[in-house]
Structure 1
């Protein structure tokens, strides 16, 4: 019984760790040339207007 619990908890931990590794990639977006963002602020080095 204890061995099943350990195997189940180990499998759950692996799944959660895998989801945590892949999660940041899901929020990545490509930005237009001249637009750069860091944390919560973005900069635009061009004269064009871009919506975030």
Structure 2
């Protein structure tokens, strides 16, 4: 026996897709920031400070 349900209207569908698009944009920005932050840390960790010469 089939379970009855109501499909969303076209307007509700469009609104749902708009919300979904916004969430994907936010997720993309968060992941991008994490990747760039980690890449920046690796670059600074790999750079060795110049040898400091001490006066004799």
The alignment yields a C-alpha RMSD, in angstroms, of: 2.3
Q: Aligned to 1:21, which of 30, 34, 37? A: 37
Provide the TM-score with structure 2 as the length reference.
0.49
Q: 1:30 to 1:4 in 2, by over 3 A?
A: closer
Displacement over 6 Å in runs of 4+ = none
Richer in helix (by share)? 2
Q: Is it true that 1:10 corresponds to 2:15 in the alignment?
A: no
Q: Name structure 2 gaps, 5 residues minimum.
A: 1-16
Of structures 1 and 2, the one scoring higher in RCO (CA 8 A, sep 6+) is: 1
Structure with larger Rg: 2
Aligned residues: 37
What is the rounded CA distance, in whole Å, between the counterparts of 1:44 and 1:6 in structure 2? Answer: 50
Richer in strand (by share)? 1
